[in-house]
A = this chain, B = another copy of it.
Amino acid sequence: MNLNQIELLRVLQETDFNLSKAAEKMCVVQSAVSRQLQMFEVELGAPLFERNGKKLIGLTLLGKRIMQEVATINQAKQNIQTIAADFMDSEHGTIHIATTHAQAKYFLPAPIQRFREKYPGVRIYMQQSSPEHLIDQLHQHKADVAICTEKVQEDTELVTKDCYEWHHAAVMPHGHPLCEGEMSLQRLANYPILTYSFGFTGRSAIESALQKAGLELDVFLSAADSDVIKTYVRAGLGVGLITGMAYDADVDSDLTARSLADFIPSSKAKIAYLRNNYLPSYVQHFIAELLAAGKNVNA
């Protein structure tokens, strides 16, 4: 058994058990990986892969169980390299952040700026996508840290930290009937609604509030993006339900925003990363910066 064989197993999973593609990814010829796999299976005394003729088509029961250990080894190996690199130079490196549009545009700018002042040598890559995909990004090691509101706490392989609490706001053009008078979910239900897609930033809080009130909203447009929602609100298509942060009194001076804090339960933005993944000191510092910024928001 050697680390290349372990690595090969990982790569095979990522390439749909295709030896040729795996060989390419590992920068060796196909026959080499074929042999290595054979030798490994012989060493263990049992096949790890289901085969259709010579083609690999999946993992055996044994293979599935062993893949867990393989993942552990690869993670630890990665950690060793990261730890050593961090030890040698804790000023340079990269952070891959996976997050949603709302966080990227309205929350992250401040903490990232502060972080940059302390760590000018660290390159930051920001990747936007859906909360579900964010978690995949972490698992696939395409992101070091994720920031989002939904779905992260169910995963036992992730460490999550509460970052800040936020409320929804209703936005509409000036002169809209909802700009005046007592706000309520009932009144809201009279108008077409634009808000986040399912599984996105705080959509679940809206759903649970409605269910509790026995109401149904006419959400005729769902988007992942506060700015898209505002655009349609401006076009007079309805009332937008977005995070309070996303209303900027200057830029959005043509819109009225009213807090829904009393009607929709608050949502918690969270920071998540893989439990067994070593984070370089600057990433740990970055997370501290996020938490500090989060406290700031809550205050």
The bracket for how many chain A residues form the interface is 20 to 34
Copies of the chain in the assembly: 2
Within 8 A of B (CB), among A76-95: 76-77, 79-81, 83-85, 87-88
Interchain CB contact under 8 A, B73 and A77:
yes
Interchain CB contact under 8 A, A84 and B3:
no
CB distance from A208 to the nearest CB of B (A): 35
Interchain CB contact under 8 A, A80 and B3:
no
Interchain CB contact under 8 A, A2 and B1:
no
Interchain CB contact under 8 A, B83 and A62:
yes
Selecting from A26-34, A64-72, A246-254, the interface stretch reads A64-72
Contact of A62 among B66, B70, B87 (CB under 8 A): B87
A53 at the interface (CB under 8 A from B): no
A44 at the interface (CB under 8 A from B): yes
- From known contacts A1-B77, A3-B1, A3-B2, infer whether A84 and B62 are also in contact, taking CB-CB under 8 Å: yes
CB distance from A169 to the nearest CB of B (A): 44
Which 9 pairs show the lowest CB-CB distances between chains A and B?
A44-B84, A69-B76, A72-B76, A62-B87, A73-B76, A69-B79, A69-B80, A45-B88, A73-B73
Contact of A83 among B69, B72, B81, B83 (CB under 8 A): B69
